[in-house]
Amino acid sequence: MQLKDYVPFFISKIKDIEQIYKAQDKELNKIKLDIKDLRNQCFVATATWGLDFWEEFLNIETDTSKSIQERRSNIFAKLRGQGTTTVEVIKQIAQAYADIANVTEDNPNYAFYINLESYKGYPFNLDSLYKNIEEIKPAHLQCNYKLTSTTKGKFRIGTITRYAETITVYPYNPREIELKGTIKLALGDSTGLENITVYPRKEGN
Write the CB contacts of 97 (distance below 8 Å, at least 6 apart in sequence): 73, 77, 116, 122, 126, 128, 129
pLDDT in tens, 9-57: 777 778 888 888 888 888 889 999 999 999 999 999 999 999 999 999 9
CA distance 136 to 23: 55
Residue 51 burial by CB count (10 A; 0-12/13-18/19+): exposed, middle or buried?
buried
pTM of the model: 0.51
Q: How many CB atoms lie within 10 A of CB 25?
A: 14
